[in-house]
């Protein structure tokens, strides 16, 4: 059985096998792992519920597969290289043995704090090794981790803690990012004051030693609870379908939902996709620049690499500090072989000029990856020419928080590359295109709505606390299909190009943001009556946020109003969701049933005023002229 594809024939054979006999295919991939009890049935599924079970009846612990399994054969190999924010600071490294020890000790420390199997533990932390150690420690004892990106506001953190009914929060004191030192613990304290009644303990890692308020009833010191605990923690025997983690993500309506991934299927899928997409070899140095607060970090900084016994790198800082050469400097210094980043970072660095990238020796690189948003051709070409010197394959990987791992991607030096195309599905992945009425589109050279018709092991199982919402969001638009929310084009040879979201979800710098969330935040600002938010093309961010706002009465000071709108978004969501443009409007174009016609607003926001389309069915067609007239020129 081929577990790492090397040739086009390997890919074709694996793909065929995965469709003809998926259970056999995935059982073969799962065989190499340590199981406490082998599964009874590889796959049971029904997309109506949905009810998807992989490796049902099996028992395992994912950390035994990430750590214990490797300690025996590559215990002294570096598991983690941590690169700090300051360019002259030495790296911290952890061998598999050292990481194993830390995780076991912290697992025991968590137990001593009363954390048990099934409890939810929220992390609000910068990119420091203690975050990885903490996640794995949770998985070791069967606690469910939920990581909240440390750029979210106190309100967002509170929303997630409350929804997950978390027992413990783990945080740092501060977050060093570039020249800034951002308070973290303070935000946690603010969140707890917003009614997080289930939290019993706050575990604080003193990363910078900066001042903070200490609440002796709740707060415990990460290092102190590690003192004197036993060095081995028996890994909890988890059912294959026991939850491993919850990760909150935005949709087209309401508050973010908690996407739930379970243990065995996620494990097998993260490992298989990591090994194949990056063509990882034993002595490679793999670096993914994502934040662990997003799914990319979960699957391709932590779980995928560790499951494959890889050396994975984690970077605390930002690409622009101390200058726009930082990524290239890190690649040169550490002889990075696989580099995985986001189009928004590529565009931002490209805009700084070629002299930064040209200064460094990037010859160690073997594979370049991108993820998170559509990559434009210019950025793709720059990545290919300036970073890869026209010699290194690029993998444009398409996937989602909900998919757990990569679904559509080129395979380096195995399948061909076409700029801006995510290309072909991985083995086990069966994408299809449908039209808006749900009819299957079978021909090539077409566009459609991207759906997946068969489960893969990493598919989400539910949304935390609300299974109906999971069904409605992903499995109801088209019966018996998983609907991705993306539109895609399929070329004559069957390659997919992801066009972007077809729902009310924005992708700003690779961050997924729901328009409804931003509108709610704007509407909470004093003096705002109603608002509508749409995306518009942005050179660096991919999409920018454009807010049309109806104000109460006549506005004396537009700048003040805009400031308070931006502040409200900061407080409710976080700085990543700040509107780039705010236009005060007398009304919003609405249909007779009162629905906002976003199509029209999107046109105006993109500066495409000439071709607004039919507005005769609007309740208030006159506002369109008014909005057009006052739209800022971009
Ligand atoms: C949405 C998912 C997957 C981890 C990071 C984002 C967009 C993702 C690509 C790509 C075009 C992409 C899609 C998708 N997206 N990768 N290679 N090309 N678009 O995860 O936050 O759940 O967002 O990101 O629109 O639906 P996410």
pLDDT digits (tens, 9 = 90+) for 525-558: 999 999 999 999 999 999 999 999 999 988 889 9
**Do 520 and 486 touch, CB atoms closer than 8 A?**
no
- In this structure, which residue's CA is closest to atom 2 in ligand 1? 400
Q: How far is CA 469 from CA 232, 257, 284, 528, in A?
A: 40, 9, 41, 30
Can you tell me the distance from the alpha carbon of 477 to that of 441, in angstroms, rounded to the nearest whole number? 16
What DSSP element (H or E) covers 382? helix 377-382
User: For position 216, what pLDDT does the model report?
Assistant: 97
DSSP reduced 3-state for 190:
helix
Split at pLDDT 50, 70, 90, the class of 317 is very high
User: For position 634, what pLDDT does the model report?
Assistant: 65
Give 486 Cα–ligand 1 centroid separation in angstroms. Answer: 9
- In this structure, which residue's CA is closest to atom 11 in ligand 1? 374
- In this structure, which residue's CA is closest to atom 14 in ligand 1? 400
């931003």: which residue's tokens? 518
DSSP reduced 3-state for 463:
strand
Tell me: pLDDT of 156 over 80: yes
Q: Which two tokens stand for residue 449?
A: 């709505």
Minimum mean pLDDT range among 1-10, 26-35, 87-96? 1-10
Tell me: pLDDT of 33 over 80: yes
**Number of Cα atoms under 13 Å in the Cβ half of residue 131:** 30
Tell me: pLDDT of 58 over 80: yes
Determine what percent of the chain is predicted with pLDDT higher than 90: 95
Which residue out of 400, 501, 508, 517 has the highest number of ligand 1 atoms within 8 Å of its CB and is therefore the one to mutate? Answer: 400
Q: Give 238-254 pLDDT, tens digit per residue.
A: 999 999 999 999 998 88
Give 373 Cα–ligand 1 centroid separation in angstroms. Answer: 5
Q: Give 113-154 pLDDT, tens digit per residue.
A: 999 999 999 999 999 999 999 999 999 999 999 999 999 999
Which residue out of 151, 398, 406 has the highest number of ligand 1 atoms within 8 Å of its CB and is therefore the one to mutate? Answer: 398
Sign of CA dihedral 497, 499, 504, 508: positive
Tell me: pLDDT of 213 over 90: yes
Give 468 Cα–ligand 1 centroid separation in angstroms. Answer: 24
Can you tell me the distance from the alpha carbon of 21 to that of 559, in angstroms, rounded to the nearest whole number? 62
Give 399 Cα–ligand 1 centroid separation in angstroms. Answer: 5
User: For position 440, what pLDDT does the model report?
Assistant: 98
Judge if the upstream peptide bond of residue 366 is cis by omega within 30 degrees of 0. no
User: For position 609, what pLDDT does the model report?
Assistant: 85
Tell me: pLDDT of 600 over 90: yes
Q: Give 484-503 pLDDT, tens digit per residue.
A: 999 999 999 999 999 999 99
Q: Which two tokens stand for residue 406?
A: 């990569």
User: For position 328, what pLDDT does the model report?
Assistant: 98
pLDDT average, residue stretch 61-72: 98
Average pLDDT of every residue of the chain:
97
Determine what percent of the chain is predicted with pLDDT higher than 70: 100
Split at pLDDT 50, 70, 90, the class of 177 is very high
Tell me: pLDDT of 16 over 80: yes
Give 601 Cα–ligand 1 centroid separation in angstroms. Answer: 24
Q: Exposed, middle or buried by CB within 10 Å (0-12, 13-18, 19+), for 466?
A: middle
**Do 159 and 189 touch, CB atoms closer than 8 A?**
no
Can you tell me the distance from the alpha carbon of 148 to that of 199, in angstroms, rounded to the nearest whole number? 15
Q: Which is nearest to 296 in space by CA: 332, 344, 336? A: 344
Tell me: pLDDT of 85 over 80: yes
Tell me: pLDDT of 633 over 80: no
Ligand 1 binding pocket, CB closer than 6 Å: 249, 294-296, 371-374, 396-401, 422, 484-486, 498, 500-501, 507, 512
Our measurement of the distance from residue 16's CA atom to the centroid of its chain's CA atoms, rounded to an integer in Å, reads 29
- In this structure, which residue's CA is closest to atom 1 in ligand 1? 400
Q: Tell me the residue ranges of DSSP E strands in 515-605.
A: 528-538, 542-551, 581-584
Give 397 Cα–ligand 1 centroid separation in angstroms. Answer: 8
Beta carbons within 8 Å of 266's beta carbon, 6+ residues apart: 62, 244, 303, 404, 405, 457, 458
In this structure, what DSSP letter does residue 242 have?
Answer: S
Q: How far is CA 444 from CA 178, 489, 515, in A?
A: 46, 9, 32
Can you tell me the distance from the alpha carbon of 350 to that of 353, in angstroms, rounded to the nearest whole number? 6
Q: Give 345-385 pLDDT, tens digit per residue.
A: 999 999 999 999 999 999 999 999 999 999 999 999 999 99
Give 443 Cα–ligand 1 centroid separation in angstroms. Answer: 25
User: For position 615, what pLDDT does the model report?
Assistant: 87
Tell me: pLDDT of 564 over 80: yes
């Amino acid at each position: 059985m081929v577990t790492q594809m090397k040739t086009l024939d390997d890919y074709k054979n694996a793909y065929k096998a995965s469709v003809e006999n998926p259970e056999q295919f995935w059982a073969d991939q799962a065989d190499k792992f340590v199981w406490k009890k082998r599964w009874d049935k590889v796959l049971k599924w029904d997309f109506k519920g949905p009810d998807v079970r992989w490796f049902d009846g099996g028992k395992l612990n994912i950390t035994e597969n990430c750590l214990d399994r490797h300690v025996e054969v590559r215990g002294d190999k570096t598991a983690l290289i941590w690169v700090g924010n300051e360019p002259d600071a030495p790296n911290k490294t952890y061998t598999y043995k050292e990481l194993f020890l830390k995780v076991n000790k912290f697992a025991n420390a968590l137990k001593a704090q009363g954390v048990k199997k099934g409890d939810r533990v929220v992390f609000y932390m910068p990119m420091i090794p203690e975050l990885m150690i903490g996640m794995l420690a949770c998985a070791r004892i069967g606690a469910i981790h939920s990581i909240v990106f440390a750029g979210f506001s106190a309100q967002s953190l509170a929303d997630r803690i409350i929804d997950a009914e978390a027992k413990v929060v783990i945080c740092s004191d501060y977050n060093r990012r570039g020249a800034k030192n951002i308070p973290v613990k303070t935000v946690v304290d603010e969140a707890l004051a917003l009614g997080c009644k289930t939290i019993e303990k706050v575990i604080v890692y003193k990363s910078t030693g900066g001042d903070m308020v200490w609440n002796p009833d709740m707060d415990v010191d990460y290092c102190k609870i590690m003192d004197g605990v036993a060095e081995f923690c028996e890994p909890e025997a988890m059912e294959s379908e026991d939850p491993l983690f919850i990760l909150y993500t935005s949709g087209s309506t309401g508050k973010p939902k908690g996407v739930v991934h379970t243990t065995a299927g996620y494990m097998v899928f993260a490992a298989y996709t990591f090994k194949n997409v990056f063509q990882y070899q034993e002595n490679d140095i793999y670096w993914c620049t994502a934040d662990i607060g997003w799914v990319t970090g979960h699957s391709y900084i932590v779980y995928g690499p560790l499951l494959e016994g890889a050396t994975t790198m984690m970077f605390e800082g930002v690409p622009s500090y101390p200058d726009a050469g930082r990524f290239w400097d890190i690649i040169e210094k550490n002889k990075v072989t696989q580099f995985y980043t986001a189009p928004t970072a590529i565009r931002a660095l490209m805009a700084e000029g070629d002299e930064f990238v040209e200064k460094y020796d990037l010859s160690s690189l073997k594979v370049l990856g991108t993820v998170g948003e559509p990559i434009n051709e210019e950025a793709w070409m720059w990545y290919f020419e300036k970073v890869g010197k026209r010699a290194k394959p690029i993998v444009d990987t398409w996937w989602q928080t909900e998919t757990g791992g990569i679904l559509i991607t080129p395979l380096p030096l195995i399948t061909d590359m076409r700029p801006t195309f995510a290309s072909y599905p991985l083995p086990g992945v069966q994408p299809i295109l449908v039209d808006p009425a749900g009819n299957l589109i079978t021909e090539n050279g077409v566009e459609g709505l991207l759906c997946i018709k068969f489960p893969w092991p990493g598919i989400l199982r539910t949304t935390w606390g609300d299974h109906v919402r999971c069904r409605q969001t992903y499995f109801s638009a088209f019966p018996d299909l998983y609907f991705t929310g993306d539109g895609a084009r399929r070329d004559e040879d069957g390659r997919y190009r992801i066009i972007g979201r077809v729902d009310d979800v924005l992708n700003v710098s690779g961050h997924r943001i729901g328009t409804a969330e931003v509108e709610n935040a704007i509407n909470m600002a004093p003096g705002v009556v109603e608002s509508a938010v749409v995306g518009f093309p942005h050179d660096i961010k991919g999409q920018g946020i454009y807010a049309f706002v109806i104000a109460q009465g006549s506005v004396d000071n537009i700048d003040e109003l805009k400031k308070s709108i931006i502040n409200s978004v900061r407080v409710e969501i976080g700085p990543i969701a700040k509107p780039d443009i705010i236009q005060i409007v007398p009304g919003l174009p609405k249909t007779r049933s009162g629905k906002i016609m976003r199509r029209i607003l999107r046109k105006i926001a993109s500066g495409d005023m000439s071709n607004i389309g039919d507005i005769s069915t609007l309740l208030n067609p006159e506002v369109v002229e008014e909005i057009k007239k006052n739209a800022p020129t971009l």
